[in-house]
């Protein structure tokens, strides 16, 4: 709208300064943000605080103590299921990351072909199907194999966790490949590098952050899988989540808080190492 004074005098009107849109200026944004963070982190903070509770209570504070951490370390069954969970998460996420890397290369570094979108949808299928459905399907599938072979080892858990972790590892690796400049690989080919040499010296180093991110996602998802593990595992194959679930059904003690706090600290260490590595590479 032209200013009235400028219209009368014939002088050019001054344009009003435009205010950039900022979501933080919306009414109530600060209150909603604070409420969200409180709902996200207050339960975790309470969990950590009560892991140092001297009283065997989840609601009343009885003083500071490390007795529940000592009890967790001295519990032979806790040590066994923790080692089993870490081993299973490492193996499953490692296999899933390898398969996801090959799948991402096969769906991004090639010309478009019929069925490419369908392959992408099939790889991400576990993300769209409820975990309970996947667990029941794996139970039926592996039960038939157990009957025919008689094998009841950890291979079923490794296969189930690997299948469930593949889409979580695939997404960051594919995203990294799609944002990489393909001209670098073409330049390597122009310099008479073989496809393997171009992958080894150009593509792979640039892809490492995506691979690490995919491995971390797969590791955390495998470590946290309860439903699939509960359906697939055989006797004596409890992981830490299924063990904690069984204990919570019987008797709730701050020892469970201590175990959860230790694994929370492990997750924070993994995230910190990943941040430092990617920052150094940047």
Give the residue numbers spanning the domain of 239.
76-281
Specify whether 158 is located in the same domain as 240: yes
Specify whether 42 is located in the same domain as 87: no
Residue 267 lies in a domain: yes
pLDDT at 96 over 60: yes
Residue 133 lies in a domain: yes
Please report which confidence band the pLDDT of residue 98 belongs to, taking 50, 70 and 90 as the band edges.
very high
Specify whether 141 is located in the same domain as 272: yes
Specify whether 51 is located in the same domain as 113: no
Nearest to 256 by CA among 48, 11, 42, 21: 48
Nearest to 49 by CA among 39, 60, 38: 60
**Mean pLDDT, residues 255-263:** 85
Q: How far apart are CA 93 and CA 216, in angstroms?
A: 8
Specify whether 104 is located in the same domain as 196: yes
pLDDT confidence of residue 161: 93
Specify whether 121 is located in the same domain as 208: yes
pLDDT in tens, 46-83: 888 888 888 877 777 888 888 888 888 888 888 899 89
Which one has a higher pLDDT value, 170 or 2? 170
- Among 5, 33, 65, give the residue marking a domain's end: 65
- Among 65, 87, 119, give the residue marking a domain's end: 65
Specify whether 191 is located in the same domain as 97: yes
Residue 137 lies in a domain: yes
Residue 4 lies in a domain: no
Number of domains in the chain: 2
pLDDT in tens, 28-40: 788 888 999 999 8
Which one has a higher pLDDT value, 5 or 33? 33
Residue 172 lies in a domain: yes
CB 54 within 8 A of CB 264: no
Specify whether 44 is located in the same domain as 80: no
pLDDT confidence of residue 279: 63
Specify whether 95 is located in the same domain as 234: yes
């Amino acid at each position: 709208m032209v200013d009235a004074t400028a219209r009368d005098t014939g002088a050019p009107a001054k344009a009003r300064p435009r205010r950039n849109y900022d979501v933080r200026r919306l009414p109530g944004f600060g209150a909603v943000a604070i409420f969200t963070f409180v709902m996200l982190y207050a339960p975790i903070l309470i969990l950590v605080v009560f892991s140092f509770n001297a009283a065997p209570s989840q609601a009343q504070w009885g003083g500071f103590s490390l007795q529940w951490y000592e009890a967790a370390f001295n519990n032979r069954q806790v040590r066994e299921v923790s080692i089993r969970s870490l081993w299973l998460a490492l193996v499953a996420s490692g296999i899933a990351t390898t398969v996801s890397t090959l799948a991402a290369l096969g769906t991004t570094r090639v010309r478009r072909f019929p069925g490419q979108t369908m392959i992408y949808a099939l790889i991400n299928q576990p993300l769209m199907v409820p975990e309970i459905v996947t667990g029941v399907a794996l139970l039926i599938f592996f039960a038939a194999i157990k009957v025919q072979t008689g094998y009841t080892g950890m291979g079923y858990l490794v296969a189930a966790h690997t299948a469930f972790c593949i889409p979580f590892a695939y997404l960051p690796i594919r995203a990294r490949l799609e944002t990489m400049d393909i001209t670098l690989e073409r330049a390597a080919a122009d310099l008479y590098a073989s496809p393997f040499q171009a992958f080894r010296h150009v593509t792979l180093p640039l892809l490492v952050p995506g691979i690490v991110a995919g491995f971390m996602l797969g590791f955390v998802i495998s470590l946290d899988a309860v439903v699939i593990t509960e359906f697939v595992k055989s006797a004596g194959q409890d992981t830490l989540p299924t063990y904690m679930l069984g204990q919570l059904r019987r008797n709730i003690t701050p020892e469970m808080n201590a175990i959860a706090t230790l694994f929370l600290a492990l997750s924070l260490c993994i995230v910190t190492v990943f941040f430092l590595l990617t920052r150094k590479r940047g």
